[in-house]
Amino acid sequence: MQFSDFGNKFRGGAGIAELMHDLASPITTPGIPVYELGGGNPAQIHEINHAFAQQLHDYANAQTNFSQSSTRYGPPQGHQEFIRSLVSMLNAHYGWSLTEHNIALTNGSQNAFFMLFNLLAGKCGSEFKKILLPMAPEYIGYEDVAVGEPIFISQRPVIDIIDDQLFKYRLDTASLNVSHDISAICVSRPTNPTGNVLSDAEIDYLDQLAQQNNIPLIIDNAYGAPFPNIINVPCSISWHENIVLTLSLSKLGLPGTRTGIVIARDEIIDALTQMNAVMNLSPTSLCAGIVNPMFADGSVLTLCNNHIQPFYQQRATDAMHWFRTAFAQLPALAHKVEGAIFLWLWFPEMSITAEALYKRLKKRGVVVVPGHYFFPGLDDTWQHKQQCIRVNIGGQADDIKAGFDIIADEIRTLS
Ligand SMILES: Cc1ncc(COP(=O)(O)O)c(C=O)c1O
């Protein structure tokens, strides 16, 4: 059977496909326990699960809600009441002046990135436009979304060594270059996989750069404020017509509902609305309907501030402690966890690739994500790309500790 060039893109083992497969069926070696430290599942936080379950119960008991949201197609822009609640909540919280024309919903924010990147980059008349990812490592899910030729250009960061087991990436502003073929700049903040949070000064710099070049700045806020608010350092958030801000209900605890949110100037929202109609008729509205009361009265923010943020902040502290214990005296560093749900580990003296380490760990029951997938658009031979892995720190504490011990054991034999 012959597939198109577009079809063949999806048959070659995309990194995000491998990651999601591992997440769905993490069977490794029969008879040995599995420590699932891969994937991007959020933590199971009792108060959060309970709050959403209650909401679902209330929703199901109100017959009119159900018939309005689920027995008919919604508009292609997304659930209108939920959009109105988001507009009011965000304007009240940040003093923005969003209108309902500035928000569209998508089937998860991954789906939003497929649409946004193909909307802005690729063949553009006689030119070929690209997306600048100003600081790799960057989110694995961007890598394979282009329908045509590769569309990403990215750049190495500056590495600050904080102590012998801790480091942090910083934007290399000195070598950042926006060439004429760049049509947007994009960053995840907090960053998946590293847990880095670009500082306000770094974001201001990128914002100015984008405006000077008359291109949008896309900020992927899947872990950011005001929800789910998985941030451990002070940082502000701004929006104006040149910024495209994406949010998601996934890391709030609802990845199964596939609900993404895009905040942008109306021209972009109109285009996404049309794309939603073509690709999905309309985006999923069931979850938007269920959680809408919590956004309308702002109680979702209290849940984030009282339960989600403290859980992950404590987990970041604990994970660093477990890491320092397991990897004492080994050539291993962790990126400072400023946000998100991961620990990004760097083994500067490792004698094999990250992929080979991933396979060895999988045989011993530890599922992680090899780091080389997180450098979309960085086509150079930087060794660092092969020296890192990503570990999800949202799971069971005992699994993380046991997983660290096994990873440390492998690194001991490989350094
Ligand atoms: C930085 C980042 N952006 C976007 C996504 C996509 O999330 P979703 O499609 O579940 O909204 C993820 C998921 O892990 C992510 O980590």
DSSP-assigned letter for residue 104: E
Ligand 1 lined by 139 (C-beta under 6 Å):
yes
Under a CB-based contact definition with an 8 Å cutoff, are residues 161 and 134 in contact? Answer: no
pLDDT (mean) for 165-190: 97
280 lies in the same domain as 313: no
Atom 6 in ligand 1: residue holding the nearest Cα: 110
pLDDT (mean) for 329-344: 98
- Copy the structure tokens of residue 159: 């590495």
Task: Tell me: pLDDT of 172 over 80.
Answer: yes
DSSP-assigned letter for residue 231: B
370 lies in the same domain as 410: yes
Q: What is the pLDDT of residues 99-149, one digit of tens each?
A: 999 999 999 999 999 999 999 999 999 999 999 999 999 999 999 899 999
Which DSSP string corresponds to 47-71? HHHHHHHHHHHHHHH-HHHHHHHHS
Task: Tell me: pLDDT of 65 over 80.
Answer: no
247 Cα to the center of ligand 1, angstroms: 9
pLDDT (mean) for 256-271: 98
Other CB atoms within a 10 A radius of the CB of residue 43 amount to 18
Ligand 1 lined by 194 (C-beta under 6 Å):
no
Q: How far apart are CA 338 and CA 168, in angstroms?
A: 10
Q: How confident is the model at residue 25 (pLDDT cuts 50, 70, 90)?
A: low
Pairing verdict, β 217-220 and 182-188: parallel
pLDDT score of 15: 67
165 lies in the same domain as 290: yes
111 Cα to the center of ligand 1, angstroms: 9
pLDDT score of 7: 84
Ligand 1 lined by 55 (C-beta under 6 Å):
no
19 Cα to the center of ligand 1, angstroms: 13
Ligand 1 lined by 276 (C-beta under 6 Å):
no
Residues above pLDDT 70, as percent of the chain:
96
Ligand 1 atom closest to residue 255's alpha carbon, by position in its atom list:
10
CATH number for the domain including 376?
Answer: 3.90.1150.10
Q: How far apart are CA 385 and CA 402, in angstroms?
A: 25
Q: What is the pLDDT of residues 152-169, one digit of tens each?
A: 999 999 999 999 999 999
| Domain boundary, last residue among 245, 269, 297 | 297
In the chain, the largest separation of any two C-alpha atoms, in whole Å, equals: 63
Mutate to test the pocket of ligand 1, among 250, 312, 373 (most ligand atoms within 8 A of CB): 250
Could you tell me if residue 39 is left (phi over 0), alpha (psi between -120 and 50 degrees) or otherwise beta?
left
pLDDT (mean) for 219-239: 97
291 lies in the same domain as 306: no
pLDDT score of 22: 72
Rounded-to-10 torsion of CA 90, 96, 102, 103:
-10
Task: Tell me: pLDDT of 23 over 70.
Answer: no
Ligand 1 atom closest to residue 40's alpha carbon, by position in its atom list:
14
pLDDT score of 28: 61
205 lies in the same domain as 151: yes
175 lies in the same domain as 235: yes
Rounded-to-10 torsion of CA 124, 112, 299, 102:
30
CATH number for the domain including 164?
Answer: 3.40.640.10
Tokens 């060794």 identify what position? 383
pLDDT score of 19: 65
222 Cα to the center of ligand 1, angstroms: 6
pLDDT score of 255: 97
- Within a domain: residue 54? no
30 lies in the same domain as 119: no
10 lies in the same domain as 100: no
Q: How far apart are CA 160 and CA 199, in angstroms?
A: 14
Ligand 1 lined by 248 (C-beta under 6 Å):
yes
Q: How far apart are CA 283 and CA 280, in angstroms?
A: 6
Ligand 1 atom closest to residue 340's alpha carbon, by position in its atom list:
16
Task: Tell me: pLDDT of 393 over 70.
Answer: yes
| Domain boundary, last residue among 258, 279, 297 | 297
Ligand 1 lined by 392 (C-beta under 6 Å):
no
Task: Tell me: pLDDT of 217 over 70.
Answer: yes
Q: How far apart are CA 172 and CA 174, in angstroms?
A: 5
| Domain boundary, last residue among 281, 297, 313 | 297
292 lies in the same domain as 357: no
Q: Which residues contact 367 (CB under 8 A, 6 or more apart)?
A: 22, 26, 28, 34, 35, 36, 37, 38, 39, 361
126 lies in the same domain as 250: yes
Task: Tell me: pLDDT of 13 over 90.
Answer: no
Ligand 1 atom closest to residue 249's alpha carbon, by position in its atom list:
11
200 lies in the same domain as 334: no
Domain extent for 363: 5-47+302-414
Ligand 1 lined by 222 (C-beta under 6 Å):
yes
Under a CB-based contact definition with an 8 Å cutoff, are residues 236 and 200 in contact? Answer: yes
- Copy the structure tokens of residue 357: 């380490």
Ligand 1 atom closest to residue 248's alpha carbon, by position in its atom list:
11
285 lies in the same domain as 311: no
pLDDT score of 9: 80
Give the chain's domain count: 2
